[in-house]
Amino acid sequence: MTTAPKVQGDAGAAMTADLLSKALPFYGLPPDTPLTLLNRSENETWRAGDLILRLHRPGYHTGPEIASELAWLTALQDLPGLRAVAPISGTSGLVTNIDGRFVVAFARVAGQELQPGDDLARWFAPLGEITARLHQHSRGWTPPPGFVRKRWDADTILGPRPHWGDWRQAQSLDAAGEALLARATATLADQLRAYGTGPQVFGLIHADLRLANLMVDDQGLIAIDFDDCGFGWWVYDLASALWPQPTAR
């Protein structure tokens, strides 16, 4: 009989402990290794010993898509001037399937997340350097066979079946508001299609390069959270960086 791991977190976190305990031996960890919930958003992020585990939400990324994200991250490990979180392979490869749920592992990163109230403005120039290095690498990198990531374009962002849900289903949206947003969406979609998706403006991007998705230590910033990386406009990463940052309350 296997002892269940000790879980630190809320009551909901305890519900996934048995699932994660099955994944731990794939990474050389005893199934009773203490687990600590670090973050719950689209996915769940846990600390287990010296590893960080990410439990993927069901029905979003496929196994090949997750493996492709980690293939790019692996290729980035030796890129001069860039520090990025390092994926860790288990006995079944970079992606572990436990009862139909995907689990991946990363090496623990020193440092901490930027906090509300920090001097966030000082980090935008280093963030720009990170973005430039990622784009430069993407332009010259040949992905391995089978590489597949989602595409972020006018249809998959503004269309009727976008990856992140249809704005038309927003709560409290009345007919007048829907008509206004429909006109705005159609205009934006036309402008984006005119902008094009050629290699000079479009390629493999991080797609979520906000300061909240970076770690900082005494050497600077560390890029993490490539879960939304895919094929989109280079300028998309700029838009992500300019998305409103956390502020002190």
Please state, in angstroms and rounded to a whole number, the distance separating the CA atoms of residues 59 and 164: 12
Topology of domain 117-242, CATH: Aminoglycoside 3'-phosphotransferase; Chain: A, domain 2 (3.90.1200)
The DSSP 8-state label assigned to residue 48 in this structure reads E
Q: CATH homologous superfamily of domain 7-108? A: Phosphorylase Kinase; domain 1 (3.30.200.20)
Share of the chain above pLDDT 90, in %: 69
Low-confidence stretches of the chain (pLDDT beneath 70): 1-15, 116, 244-249
Give residue-wise pLDDT tens across range 181-222.
Answer: 999 999 999 999 999 999 999 999 999 988 778 899 999 999
Bridge pairing between strands 51-55 and 7-8: unpaired
Judge residue 244's burial from the number of C-beta atoms within 10 Å of its C-beta, 0-12 exposed, 13-18 middle, 19 or more buried. Answer: exposed
Contact 44, 16 (CB under 8 A): yes
Looking at the chain, which residues constitute the CATH 3.30.200.20 domain(s)? 7-108
d(CA 160, CA 163): 10
What DSSP string describes 179-195?
HHHHHHHHHHHHHHHHH
What phi and psi, each to the nearest 5 degrees, are found at residue 103? Answer: -125, 135
- Where are the domain boundaries for CATH 3.90.1200.10 in the chain? 117-242
For 55-85, b/e burial (b = at least 16 CB within 10 A) is: bbeeebbeeebbbbbbbbbebbeeeeebbbb
Q: What is the model's pTM?
A: 0.88
Q: So what's the pLDDT on residue 169?
A: 87
Q: What share of the chain is helix, strand, coil (3-state, %, to 5)?
A: 35, 20, 45
Locate all alpha helices (DSSP H) within 77-226, ordered by sequence: 124-140, 154-158, 175-195
